[in-house]
Structure 1
Amino acid sequence: MFGYIICNKKGLSQEELDRYQKVYCGLCKTLGERYGQMERMSLTYDMTFVILFLSSLYEPPEKEESFRCAVHPTRKKIAVENKFTEYAADMTVLMTYYKCLDDWEDERNHLKYRYAKILEDSFQKTVQQYPRQSRIVASSIKELAAIEKSHNSIPDDAVNCSGKMLSELFVYEEDFWSNSLRSFGYELGRFIYLMDAAMDYKKDLKKKNYNPLVSMQKKPEEMEAVLTMAIGNATHQFEKLPLVQDEHLLKNILYGGVWQQYYARILGKEKSHD
């Protein structure tokens, strides 16, 4: 994911902010223990949302412990971890590896290429452990690359491909909730792709990279209605699920947090959501 699935701190209580940070620290700690210090550089709040979301649905046992963080050594941090913390760490490596290679293909970013090489061994472990997710992500990225290079593609082709890729990440295992989770992930993935296109519009034009807004004949500041419909489809699926734990925190992210960068950078104002 791309850094948009974050909380709106102004709409949260101190208790909720503490919970959010503890889950984030748990993911960081797990990345370090499971893979190494270099892999911790791929840490995102997007995957913190995945942990909170799946934990709310399945309510697995959690452990909370204090630890000394190398990045913030002056005082101990508190980490909250459960089985979805490990899963999110694995998916972080998987997605970061592909994102680095994509940046290399698009921009010949040598730093991203070198980081992908550093992640190679960790990436191979995730492929072996999660063949379903790895297969769908790999095929979706290949398909997306072909679409972005084609002059005959329509915007929905790329948007839907992004949805398919993300849909599989929300399915930890095949069970009663799989279809609902895929539907949610699919709609959220479509939103993220459109949001990223809006945020990268000027850069893409300058570098002559593919951007669906060109075919849509839309400028970033004209995308609010389209983005609202896209995230609305995701929240519609979200509201069908029996989520109680961290419900307000999750809604804060989906109804408010996802808009923060767009409103600040594109519209030049703040929009507050609870």
Structure 2
Amino acid sequence: LYEGETECVQGCGHCPIHPVRKIHWRSSGPTDYCADLSVALHYYNAQDKWNDDHSLLGLGFEKLLAAPTQDAAARWPRQCEAIRSCLDQLAEYEAAGSEDLDAVSGCFGQLMAELFDYKQDHWSPELRSIGFHLGKYIYLLDAYDDLERDQRKGAYNPLKTLSQQPGYEEEMREIFELLLARCAKSFERLPCVEDADLLRNILYSGVWLKYNCKNAKKEK
């Protein structure tokens, strides 16, 4: 969407994944933005795992990512504050055992809307719509995928009651289709040219992979 608006820097060097062989890399404003927010999301996720489950792995990642997340928050305070506040609100809903699908998925939708709103410019309405509906889809798909495991463990899942109702599978399919249709509608309003076919492949096909895999296992 912002093709050509920021300088693209290229280079070659070592990284933790390739410590011996040098690799070519390139960096620009949007890619740096995504890298910063990926770090922040992993940090807050690790923090929650330590606070909720006393996961030592979560604690390790929290310590490892603390300094990079502080740097990211200095560059993107609005987005990082949204991550923290939305996850806090989501934790409250989950602690209360809420089965209000619109409310609980809406928390993650609001989080993603803030992250997609890169520059708060004239593209914001469409970007926020994509982020909001994609965030709701991600949250509900995770709940759908984790339902059997959560039932075995007695863990929270907002779909527990709904899953016992007739027509559950059809209703979930309709919810997923509606959310992704709204994503696609907003995406098609954007003047994306470079890699547009790849983006469409992800939006129209790739995001269904987890859902399709789960239902293929059920059929077997």
Scaled by the length of structure 2, the TM-score of the pair is 0.86
Larger radius of gyration: 2
**Corresponding position of 2:212:** 263
**Corresponding position of 1:165:** 111
**1:242 and 2:191 are equivalent in the alignment:** yes
**Corresponding position of 1:126:** 72
The letter for the 2-side match of 1:97 is Y
Aligned counterpart for 1:212 among listed residues 151, 154, 158: 158
Q: Write out per-residue CA displacement over residues 92-140 of structure 1, whole angstroms, 9 at most, x where no aligned residue.
A: 1111111112223443322112211221122122222211112211111
**1:154 and 2:103 are equivalent in the alignment:** no
**Counterpart secondary structure, 2:24:** strand
Indicate conservation of the 8 Å contact 1:191/1:230, yes or no.
yes
The CA distance in 1 between the partners of 2:210 and 2:97, in whole Å, is 30
- State which drifts further: 125-134 or 91-100: 125-134
The CA distance in 1 between the partners of 2:8 and 2:151, in whole Å, is 46
**Corresponding position of 2:176:** 227
- State which drifts further: 254-263 or 58-67: 58-67
The CA distance in 1 between the partners of 2:70 and 2:16, in whole Å, is 26
Indicate conservation of the 8 Å contact 1:154/1:215, yes or no.
no
The letter for the 2-side match of 1:226 is I
Cα deviation, residue 69, structure 1 = 4.7
**Corresponding position of 1:91:** 37
**Corresponding position of 1:81:** 27
**Counterpart secondary structure, 1:217:** helix
Q: Write out per-residue CA displacement over residues 7-35 of structure 1, whole angstroms, 9 at most, x where no aligned residue.
A: xxxxxxxxxxxxxxxxxxxxxxxxxxxxx
**Corresponding position of 1:184:** 130
Aligned length: 215
**1:62 and 2:8 are equivalent in the alignment:** yes
- Structure 2 unmatched ranges of 5 or more: none
Cα deviation, residue 76, structure 1 = 4.6
Indicate conservation of the 8 Å contact 1:106/1:209, yes or no.
no
Cα deviation, residue 267, structure 1 = 2.4
Cα deviation, residue 212, structure 1 = 1.8
**Corresponding position of 1:197:** 143
Indicate conservation of the 8 Å contact 1:166/1:185, yes or no.
yes
Cα deviation, residue 75, structure 1 = 5.2
Distance 1:59 1:262, change over 3 A: farther
Indicate conservation of the 8 Å contact 2:98/2:104, yes or no.
no
**Counterpart secondary structure, 1:78:** strand
Q: Percent identity?
A: 35
- Structure 1 unmatched ranges of 5 or more: 1-53, 270-274
**Corresponding position of 1:112:** 58
